[in-house]
Amino acid sequence: MSFLELEKVEKTYPNGTRAVKGVDLAIEEGQFIVLLGPSGCGKTTTLRMIAGLELATGGAIRLAGRDVTHLKPSERDVGFVFQFYALYPHLSVGENIGFPLEASGVPRDEREAMVREVARELGLAPLLSRRPRELSGGDQQRVALARAMVRKPAAWLMDEPLGTLDSDRRLEMCEFVRARQLASKVTTVYVTHDQEEAMRLADRIVVMSDGMILQDAPPLEVYDEPATLFVARFVGSPGMNLVEGEVREHANGPRFHPKGAELALAAPRGARSGPATLGVRAEFVRAESARAAPAAPAASWRGKVVVDEYLGSSRSLHVDTPLGRVVARGHADSASALGEEVALELGLAHVRLFDPANGRRLA
């Protein structure tokens, strides 16, 4: 039995809206799991049901060997931080952080030492005597984070806890959250729509859409081996380049034929004949000046650079081709010019195929 289990968990509201649809999820003790998806996908509702702030309308939730499906939040032994921090306005920062310890009966000296430690790690030590109204929104968010992480419950539950922080502070807090979680080995479920946060923090990323789990895998697998077209589009910035076409058998193996182009690309081994959508990440598309490229057979995979994005360490070229818009990413010093015609070459080892009818991976 896993440490935290969701078995066919459902959430249907009185108006008939199904926010979560039969979610199955098994989390081992000490893992850091990130629920990733767009607004309205069901990730926060799922987290709130684990916390007990929403009751599941179907299925079961088990934590540390107990069925907690219908228990109150205070009976579940979880610490949680939500996007909209809720601090006690009449208590100081130190008293807010120490509140769950006091409620648990931790002796005063021990409690104060624990508060000082987490406050120091989060840069809150100079603020311990202040009231929440005297803090910025980002500082209040850090206090809420400290209050959850000052103790070791069965699980930490976090919903967009870094959403109000600027980029530098967010990176710093990501490092703190992950380091403290690794040191304490507290099982953690973290909700975000920020892919960089998810990739940086997670042992496993659970991608959700329309109340369902579409993929549950380590970050590298989610990025390199997306299970569905949705995951391919959603994960990555930009998402995968996608090209419609079909796979046909040839004497030398299956080949992918894009719609509207006299071009055949080697298809991944095991690909079957039929309609397919080809996917490839921008970093595996190489753009070369058409003047330096052979006239054939690459001519049908040519296009014009319509956007040239300089990203510091890399450069992204958005190329209009007969097959649609394709993004190629290369070194920042790669030669290119807005409006220039380029030839595109795909890294065939990194090509993925999807079923356009159901969106699932084919190869």
| End-to-end Cα, the chain, rounded Å | 32
What does the alpha-carbon distance between residue 313 and residue 332 come to, in Å, rounded to a whole number? 5
Residue 297 predicted with pLDDT over 60: no
Average pLDDT, integer, range 143-149: 88
At 201-241, the pLDDT tens digits run 999 999 999 999 999 999 999 999 999 999 999 999 999 99
Q: Candidates 3.90.580.10, 3.40.50.280, 3.40.50.300, 3.40.50.1820; correct CATH number of 4-233?
A: 3.40.50.300
Q: C-alpha angle with apex 331: 207 to 36, nearest 5 degrees? A: 10
Residue percentage of the chain with pLDDT more than 70: 95
At 242-294, the pLDDT tens digits run 999 999 888 788 888 888 776 677 777 778 889 999 999 999 998 888 776 65
What does the alpha-carbon distance between residue 235 and residue 240 come to, in Å, rounded to a whole number? 8
Average pLDDT, integer, range 308-317: 87
What's the pLDDT score for residue 25?
98
What's the pLDDT score for residue 322?
83
Average pLDDT, integer, range 125-153: 89
- Helices marked H in the chain — which ranges? 43-51, 93-103, 108-121, 137-149, 167-184, 195-201, 219-224, 229-234
Average pLDDT, integer, range 150-174: 87
Residue 11 predicted with pLDDT over 70: yes
What's the pLDDT score for residue 51?
95
- What does the mean pLDDT of the chain come to? 90
Q: Are 346 and 280 in contact (CB under 8 A)?
A: yes
> 238-354: which CATH topology?
OB fold (Dihydrolipoamide Acetyltransferase, E2P) (2.40.50)
Domain-wise residue ranges, the chain: 4-233, 238-354
What's the pLDDT score for residue 298?
41
Q: Are 271 and 261 in contact (CB under 8 A)?
A: no
